[in-house]
Amino acid sequence: MSRAPLIIALETHDIRFPTSQELDGSDAMNPDPDYSAAYVVLRTDGGVDGHGFAFTIGRGNDVQTAAIAALEPFVVGRRPDDLGALYKEMVHDSQLRWLGPEKGVMHMAISAVVNALWDLKAKLEGKPLWQLLSEMSPEELVDLVDFRYLSDALTPGEALQILRRAEPGRAERAADLRANGYAAYTTSPGWLGYDDDKLRRLCREAIAAGFTQIKLKVGADLDDDLRRMRIAREVCGPGFRIAIDANQRWDVGAAITWVNALREYDPYWIEEPTSPDDVLGHATVARALAPIKVATGEHVQNRVVFKQMLQAGSMSIVQLDSARVGGVNENIAILLLAAKFGVPVCPHAGGVGLCELVQHLAMFDYVAVSGSRQDRVIEYVDHLHEHFVDPVVVKNGRYQAPDAPGFSAAMRPESISAHTFPGGRVWAGGEVEEGAA
């Protein structure tokens, strides 16, 4: 096999979309997000580039971009050979580690670079990332994982067992994915800034489009939530899964009271009821609200907190995020933890490009880790996909398995230049974003 090309440059872009103009993405904690990407391109001497990004919602995207630039010495002059070693080198750098450890801006920067390395590697192998991972041996996959702080819940030996258990049937499940895709649910009807007529119309459209679950944002005003939940239940009918999402709005007691008030409309899960750091608080909420499920993870900062939440019974749905924890490698650890505890993974997506990335992880999980799609759905939000070179394809409520080599992370060059902050056309000219509706 020929040698992997050398990485010769790390390039960053501060990219922002003025989504706050249309209230797309509005929720109880984030009323006016400008969806943004702190974007990284790894250039090689072979002509193939790796792309990655951290998702933010506007202010601070420059800080996130600077953190990515600080990782240049780790990758420039290197080859994308051993991504387990390179990931661990960045995460455990003795000086950068002080900025976390393994949390916040620096960890998200590592995520962006790790994901760009995987995009590069998958392109070099000529495979979509989900397939590349699904064809690795259990031993190779275990080598990608950092088991530090996990061994009381998951050892390398147990991880190997989980992966070996899923080895038979990999080819059948990959073929099944290519034929049938992976179920999605949609958050598009439920943004807090939409009026009742828009909510009603978008619920109808979601059902017509083949989705079997929707999600509503809640937590700003109880009377509004009761009314919106009643409308959604009327339109969707009994038994249809309607999840609700408070985006960390409540204290523990308020979460329990508020969700109990909505119980008559049969919410399927309550997402992010309280602080993503509150392991025991989530466990209290979960016990009080059962059988309503508690879902969280998009702001859970690393595998150690996921471990504790699973140990404490804090979550019955794992919502891993492709770009917050330490990229593909740490997400493999989280998928293994979820498989060990028997909790379904329903990944967080939306934002900018998060659907594009996370579909690969869910599909890899189905083929090579959990081996199951039971009660598993990938979040889908129909925003900003047109800016990507290889956008997600959702048909009849299902993500179609990506074919193109890579991690589907690359944004179109014209989108990058137009949305660069503050000098790009969209910002400098004060032009209204044509894609946001």
Q: Tell me which residues touch Mg ion (CB under 5 A).
A: 245, 271
Beta-ladder partners of 244: 216, 270
Instruction: State the nearest-atom distance from the C-beta of 245 to Mg ion, in Å.
Output: 4
Whole-number minimum distance, CB 18 to Mg ion, in Å?
Answer: 21
CB of 253 to Mg ion, least distance (A): 21
The active-site residue, picked from 13, 127, 217, 293, is 217
- Dihedral class, residue 93 (left if φ above 0, else alpha if ψ from -120 to 50, else beta): beta
Measured from the CB of residue 227, what is the shortest distance to Mg ion in angstroms? 21
Minimum CB distance to Mg ion smaller for 34 or for 245: 245
Least Å distance, CB 216 to Mg ion, is 11
Cα gap 21→284, rounded to integer Å: 38
Closest separation between CB of residue 334 and Mg ion, Å? 16
Q: Which is nearer to Mg ion, 271 or 365 (CB)?
A: 271
Positive or negative, the CA dihedral 122, 124, 127, 133 is: negative
For residue 35, give both structure tokens.
């969806």
Choose between 163 and 206: whose C-beta lies nearer to Mg ion.
Answer: 206
DSSP string, 345-404: B-----TTTHHHHHHHHHHHIIIIIS---TT--EEE--SSGGGBSS---EETTEEPPP-S
- Cα 182 to the chain's mean position, in Å? 15
Rounded CA separation 190/196 (Å):
10
Distance CA 154, CA 363 (A): 22
Three-class DSSP category at 431: coil
Q: What are phi and psi of 51, to 5 degrees?
A: -120, 145
CB of 390 to Mg ion, least distance (A): 25
DSSP state of 253: H
In the complex, residue closest to Mg ion by CB: 245
Catalytic residue list contains 217: yes
- Based on CB atoms, which residue is closest to Mg ion, 160 or 254? 254
Q: Which is nearer to Mg ion, 65 or 247 (CB)?
A: 247
Is 152 exposed, middle or buried, given 0-12, 13-18 or 19+ CB atoms closer than 10 A? Answer: exposed
Pick 25 or 327: Cβ nearer Mg ion:
25
Residue 348 is among the residues annotated as catalytic for this protein: yes
Comparison of 225 and 271: residue with beta carbon closer to Mg ion: 271
What stretch of H or E contains 75? helix 72-75
Determine which one of 282, 348, 387, 419 is catalytic: 348
Give 164-232 as a 3 state SS string: HHCCCCHHHHHHHHHHHCEEEEEEEEECCCCCHHHHHHHHHHHHHCCCCEEEEECCCCHHHHHHHHHHH
Residue 152 identity: D
Positions marked active-site: 217, 348
